[in-house]
Amino acid sequence: MEKPFAITLQVESSLANHTGSWRVERPQYVNLMPPCNNACPAGENVQKWLYTAEDGSYEEAWRALIVENPFPAIMGRVCYHPCQTVCSRGQLDEAVGINSVERFLGDLAIEKGWSIPVTAPSTGFKVLIIGAGPTGLSAAYHLRRMGHAVTIRDAADVAGGMMRFGIPKYRLPRNILNAEIARIEDMGVRFQLNHKVDNVQDAIDDGFDAVFLAVGAQIGKRAYIPAGEAARILDAVNVLHDVADGEAPLLGRKVVVYGGGNTAIDVARTAKRLGADEAMIVYRRTREKAPANDTEIQEAIEEGVLMKWLSTVKHADAGVLKIERMELDDKGFPQPTGEFEDLEADSLVLALGQEVDLSLVNNLPDVEVRDGVVHVDPNMMTGRAGIFAGGDMVPAERTVTTGVGHGKKAARNIDAWLRKEKFEKEPIPRVVEYSDLNPWYYTDAPHAVRPRLEGVRRASNFDEVVQGLDESTALYEARRCMSCGNCFECDNCFGVCPDNAVIKLGPGKGFEFNLDYCKGCGICVSECPSGSIIMIPEKS
């Protein structure tokens, strides 16, 4: 080749030298399972919707979210966010406030009136859902999106189940609950309220192809407590139900709530709001062992709810309770000490857990009941083909989010069963560990804690306790996501390659390796902040 004067070597003529032949390992982009997604009882793709929200594409983010969960605004208030417990960012500074961003997106969707079109063609199948709580509504939503005709029947005159009758409105304002349920109704789900189902067989005979039972656990557990005739003992479920109905149950000045779960906390906080001077939780174990969510306990304490740990109620009488102090034994179980004290109390509210009303399945001999709950197979089907069950009436953690997850899972299995197929879950990729990440690249930035109404002020009314993020704080929070195991286009691989062997495809398109030149040094893997590149052996 003729070259100009004094030029001896052609520009970039080294491209003829394919250094990729030196390689014994090659890098590969992967999508791993972020810990948050893995922990979500509703199976949300948290990393994906946070990523989408990061550039302000809120509607797109919301639409990515509702693929798995129809209730972002509800979730953003009542979910105990196990995603945040496992968030990798928690090991760097503080977990990302996933729950608060979810709420921001949910509220924005309500404000903007975003709706959910049903685009799937009608399948012709009819599904009956019994129970309009979180589980039933979630199943209805997913089944409707798949093109099935869905009817929900519920004994109450309004939909929502425990979200309405169990969760006080200072935690879940009713306009939010109503808006997210209305959106499901707008999708064409038929609601038959005031319609208690006593006989499932009759319902099936109405022409439904499949039935999903999701009536929850509505009956308060009773414990035998010796009591004088004048003692006032109430049940937590009923108290909350009455308050939701707008009736103020007579609790008196001093209220004692017996139990350590979230329902107990809800009742104690509600009692304060109804005007009780004193609301006290009595629980036989310690705060650490109490099943209630720690945030709830903390908020209750801030509102002036008193806590009496390691105590049981031995006797109830008018205006006074006999309390026995307990001690934890070596195994962590509470044991009586024989030390008693008297406690002034105008009423005692029992919050000792709830049981399932099984009368619904009494005349279905194929449906097996074990330990007071309905037994289902891994596909959520009962012993009777075509009858599925989920939520609090099957063995599960009893939270709204778990119920929503059950609804989704049941919907997928019902859909497959109707089509005479078997639902196959996609294999779950490896869960990202903190050691997969290169946290150097993330700037330190603590989490924007949602403002709380000051304790005393909020204890006196039913205003919502936890306020939301505004747009700037929500964006800030979303951007704290480390995008574990999924590329977020930080360009590090494109930059750190000594051999220019990473091809940047442009915004939203990611990167490719140019294996003609990649020598397999692995710097891109080491320097990838999110652990989205792995090395794999080259075939010899």
Partner 1 sequence: MSTTPVKFYQVGSFAVGNRLLPAAAGSVQSDMERTNALTSGHRACQGCGEALGARYAMDAAMRAANDKVIAVNATGCLEVFSTPYPESSWRIAWLHSLFGNAPAVATGVAAALRAKGRTEVRVIGQGGDGATVDIGFGPLSGMFERNDDVLYICYDNEAYMNTGVQRSGATPAAARTATTQAVGPEPGNVFGQGKNVPRIAMAHEIPYVATATVADLRDLEAKVARAMEFRGARYLHVLVPCPLGWGSQSCDTVKIARLATQSGLFPVFEAERGEVVSSTPIRQRVMVEEYLKLQGRYSHLFSPKRRDDVIDRLQAAADRNIKRYNLMPEEAGDL
CB of 441 to partner 1, least distance (A): 4
Rounded-to-integer distance, Cα 492 and Cα 515, Å = 18
Applying CB under 8 A, does 507 fall inside the site for partner 1?
A: yes
Distance CA 488, CA 476 (A): 16
- Asked whether the beta carbons of 315 and 226 are under 8 A apart, the reply is yes
Closest separation in Å from C-beta 527 to partner 1: 5
3-state secondary structure 366-407: CCCEECCEECCCCCCECCCCCEEECHHHCCCCCCHHHHHHHH
- Residue 83, SS3 per DSSP: helix
**Does residue 520 belong to the site contacting partner 1 (CB under 8 A)?**
yes
Minimum distance, C-beta of residue 337 to partner 1, in the bound complex (Å): 48
Residue 334's alpha-carbon distances to 222, 293, 294, 306, 327, in angstroms, are 19, 20, 20, 20, 5
Among 15, 120, 182, 223, binds partner 1 (CB under 8 A): 15
CA distance 450 to 179: 22
Residue span binding partner 1 (CB under 8 A) among the ranges 9-17, 63-71, 200-208, 372-380? 9-17
Residue 490 sits in the site that holds partner 1 (CB under 8 A): yes
> Is 473 a residue that touches partner 1 (CB under 8 A)?
yes
Site for partner 1 in 438-457 (CB under 8 A): 440-443, 445, 448, 451
Question: Minimum CB separation from partner 1 for residue 458, in Å?
Answer: 15
Closest approach, Cβ 72 to partner 1, in A, equals 20
**Rounded distance between C-alpha atoms, residue 529 and residue 151, angstroms:** 47
The only residue of 38, 483, 486, 532 in contact with partner 1, by rule CB under 8 A: 483
Nearer to partner 1, 423 or 476 (CB): 476
Query: Which of 66, 217, 475, 484 contacts partner 1 by CB under 8 A?
Result: 475
C-alpha closest to that of 388 among 376, 402, 371, 397: 376
Q: Which of residues 22-81 bind partner 1 (CB under 8 A)?
A: 22, 54-55
Q: Is 82 near partner 1 (CB under 8 A)? A: no
Contact 135, 404 (CB under 8 A): yes
Is 499 a binding residue for partner 1 by CB under 8 A? The answer is yes
Give the phi and the psi of residue 520 in degrees, each rounded to 5.
75, 30
Give the Cα separation of 216 and 139 in Å (integer).
Answer: 14
Interface with partner 1 (CB under 8 A), residue from 238, 293, 379, 514:
514
- Write down the least CB distance from residue 526 to partner 1, Å: 5
Task: Say whether residue 274 binds partner 1 (CB under 8 A).
Answer: no
How many Cα neighbours within 13 Å face the side chain of 506? 0
Q: CA-to-CA distance for 387 and 370, rounded, in angstroms?
A: 17
List 2, 4, 5, 9, residue binding partner 1 (CB under 8 A): 9
For the CB of residue 81, give the shortest distance to partner 1 in the complex, in Å: 20
Number of residues near partner 1 (by CB under 8 A): 61
The answer to whether the beta carbons of residues 32 and 484 sit under 8 Å apart is yes
Name the residue type at position 54. E
Short-list 298, 296, 260, CA closest to 281: 260
Record the tokens describing residue 40, joined without a space: 């979500």
Q: Decide whether 209 or 527 has the Cβ nearer to partner 1.
A: 527
Is 436 in contact with 528 (CB distance < 8 Å)?
no
Q: Does 492 bind partner 1 (CB under 8 A)?
A: yes
11 binds partner 1 (CB under 8 A): yes
- Written as six digits, the tokens of 179 are 């808006």
Using CB under 8 A, pick the residue from 209, 287, 476, 534 that binds partner 1. Answer: 476
- If the CB atoms of residues 209 and 499 are measured against partner 1, the closer one turns out to be 499
Contact residues for partner 1 (CB under 8 A)?
8-19, 22, 54-55, 440-443, 445, 448, 451, 467, 470, 472-473, 475-476, 479-483, 488-492, 494-501, 504, 506-507, 514, 516-517, 519-523, 525-527, 529
